Chain A
Amino acid sequence: AQSVTQLDSQVPVFEEAPVELRCNYSSSVSVYLFWYVQYPNQGLQLLLKYLSGSTLVESINGFEAEFNKSQTSFHLRKPSVHISDTAEYFCAVSQGGGSYIPTFGRGTSLIVHP
């Protein structure tokens, strides 16, 4: 069975500082990994995903995540955050050969202070 652990429920950070949101997964087969973002009072939207190929994936707004198979991690990073990045971030995993429904982590609330 697949599972996802987001190690931090809340991450406060100052504007223009770097940030890392941690995600670890558990799966016995090949995995596909996603980060979704939820802005206040909105639904989730895809931020980036890893399907295959390069282990480093990037989003259009400066976030990046690296798939690390040996550490079973898919941490999300941004070198300099903006106030507008304040949101809830969800890591999700789905696996080949099993249920195609992704399992979501409990979410990390990123709070960017001016």
Chain B
Amino acid sequence: NAGVTQTPKFQVLKTGQSMTLQCAQDMNHNSMYWYRQDPGMGLRLIYYSASEGTTDKGEVPNGYNVSRLNKREFSLRLESAAPSQTSVYFCASSPQTGPQETQYFGPGTRLLVL
């Protein structure tokens, strides 16, 4: 089992460029999440998908879009990158929705926007 995988591992963009961060899980989980991690800020939820076919905004959705392509894959798109989006992005999944669920995280994508 690979768990949660993310591509790419690193990316450098210029302001205004677009890109898509890919995430896949092989644990047959229903729920998937995108977070960003900034120094001193902890993890902040960008978007989540409770189940295939549904997506919802999290705490910091502005400047991002998501697609739940199928049960395994959940992508995050930056349409016009800004320096404020320089961050480490983590994808996570959990078996079901619910407050008791453990989240399983990918290794992260480190994004630098110049």
A contacts, CB < 8 Å to B: 9, 32, 34, 36, 41-46, 49, 51, 90, 94-96, 98, 100-102, 104-107
Chain B's nearest CB lies how many Å from the CB of A25?
Answer: 13
Number of chain B residues whose Cβ lies closer than 8 Å to a Cβ of chain A: 24
B contacts, CB < 8 Å to A: 4, 33, 40-45, 48, 58, 90, 92, 97-108
Which of A9, A43, A96 has the most chain B CB within a 10 Å cutoff? A43
Cross-chain contact B105 with A45 (CB below 8 angstroms): yes
The 6 closest A-B pairs by CB, nearest first: A43-B105, A94-B99, A106-B42, A104-B43, A44-B105, A104-B42
Give the CA-CA distance A107 to B39 in the complex, in Å: 9
Q: Please, which residues of chain B bring their CB within 8 A of the CB of A9?
A: 40
Q: Please, which residues of chain B bring their CB within 8 A of the CB of A49?
A: 100, 102
Q: Please, which residues of chain B bring their CB within 8 A of the CB of A107?
A: 42
Q: Please, which residues of chain B bring their CB within 8 A of the CB of A41?
A: 107-108
The secondary structure that dominates the A interface is: loop
Interface residue from B42, B44, B99 paired with A95 (Cβ < 8 Å): B99
> Contacts A49-B102, A100-B98, A100-B101 hold; do A43 and B45 have CB atoms under 8 A apart?
no
> Contacts A43-B4, A90-B43, A101-B48 hold; do A32 and B100 have CB atoms under 8 A apart?
yes
Q: Which residue of chain B has its CB nearest to the CB of A50?
A: B100
Q: Please, which residues of chain B bring their CB within 8 A of the CB of A36?
A: 103, 105
Chain A's nearest CB lies how many Å from the CB of B62?
Answer: 18
Q: Please, which residues of chain A bring their CB within 8 A of the CB of B106?
A: 43
Q: Please, which residues of chain B bring their CB within 8 A of the CB of A42?
A: 107-108
Interface residue from A34, A95, A101, A105 paired with B102 (Cβ < 8 Å): A34
Cross-chain contact B40 with A100 (CB below 8 angstroms): no
